Amino acid sequence: MSTTANNSTVAQAPNIVFILADDLGWADLSVYGQADFTTPHLDALAGEGVRFTQAYANSAVCSATRFALITGRYQYRLRGGLEEPLVRKAHVHGLPPEHPTLPSLLRDAGYDTALIGKWHLGSLPTFGPLKSGYDRFFGNYGGAIDYFTHKPGVGDAVARDLYEGEVPVERVGYYTQLLADEATQWIGERSAAKPFFLSLHFTAPHWPWVGPEDEEISLGLKDLFHYDGGNLATYARMVRSLDKAVGQVLDALKAQGLADNTIVVFTSDNGGERFSKTWPFTGQKTELLEGGIRVPTLLRWPVRIAPQVSEQVTATMDWLPTLLAAAGVAPSADYPPDGENILPVLESHAPAYPRTLFWRYKSQRQRAVREGRYKYLRINDNEFLFDVEDDTLERANLRDKHPEVFERLRAAWEQWNAQFLPITDEVITHGLSPDIQADRYVPDLAERGM
């Protein structure tokens, strides 16, 4: 693949394939440090494009990050974005259909749009992909389903969470592969005459811990939640299956002659969980330590961007302004992005520019600010200042050594937080669910001196 193209090719609006993994840890790809197994297709994607070293998820859990991705804004601007994750009130709080989104803005500019995979931004009949900019949807509305039964729970009385548009459907097969097959077919139906935007949102490697050869294990599960079953070998099979699925989709682009002018992005919705590798960071999903929010991120666009390793600090909400800029589409003036367009830095190989990013989680039990090399972190009543460039494990508290930095970042968080919807007791009650509860993780943090 070349990094240049003739003027007619460059002038064409790029296709976009946005691939989102679920709960993939920072070092779960071999190109990011996984040594127990390999991910050759994603490693190749990294070698052909941009590998980010300082990319963050907007939240430490999935649905909140997905609000930021689709709107380009901090999720705390929307009531549904406060749930973290959106579980018990998905029929009440979701992505408002009238809100401009990345797919709706591209669709209005002439793109074919599709979401294949996980939605998790509110349930029918009020919310859904077809109401928020996607022309086609195949996948699950909720947060997690079994890979073989395609149900969000165990038992014959539990309905499948698998839909074609807004109609329930049945399929046979391992879910990661089903999504790859659907995406491959959809790409095969495209032509160079009209650009397309494909959101391919896998549930892998989110629990339940079931690999592609584990159908009998799947049918025997008593609990789909993350503490039931699993081991490192099973997790490896899940990630390798994800890697294979991505390779299949990339091959489909090549077969259609669309690879050079297609932007491919691969990232995760938050940090890893039970079996993930997050070295050299600590922390995991639901925590604002680096392991809970720093995510592997790759981008390839051969006609415009040369292969490189980028140290640019970026967040999930940056993808809307960045991809719209690549497509020549303006964001909504009524809903300006909080994210930033990072395309100029990637195209010019310019040095990374400074960013300040903010997080909060679960009734402000956790809060964080990243500014330059420093990170302010609060967990319960414990406050820290870390140099996350030199101290990636977040062990040395520098609050007394650099009190001016500590106080500045603490004040900056308060000022930032005042702009957004508050996390009330009612939000906390709705946000708690059987699968994710902040209280489960507090002892882990306490054991680390947090």
Q: With b meaning 16 or more CB within 10 Å and e meaning fewer, what string describes 431-450? A: bbeebbebeebbeebeeeeb
**Active-site residue identified among 120, 150, 201, 206:** 120
**Active-site residue identified among 41, 62, 201, 430:** 62
DSSP assignment of 327-351: HT-PPPSSS--SS---HHHHHHTPP
Phi and psi angles of residue 49, each rounded to the nearest 5 degrees, phi first: -145, -140
To which residue do tokens 């991910």 refer? 39
Give 244: exposed, middle or buried? Use CB within 10 Å, 0-12, 13-18, 19+. Answer: middle
Q: What is the Cβ-side half-sphere exposure of residue 210, based on CA atoms within 13 angstroms?
A: 27
In one letter, which amino acid is 117?
G
- Asked if residue 132 lies in contact with residue 99, where contact means CB atoms within 8 angstroms, the answer is yes
CA gap 297, 383 in Å, rounded: 29
120 an active-site residue?
yes
CA gap 97, 79 in Å, rounded: 13
CA 167-170-171 angle, to 5 degrees, is: 130
402 an active-site residue?
no
In one letter, which amino acid is 65?
T
Active-site amino acid positions: 62, 120
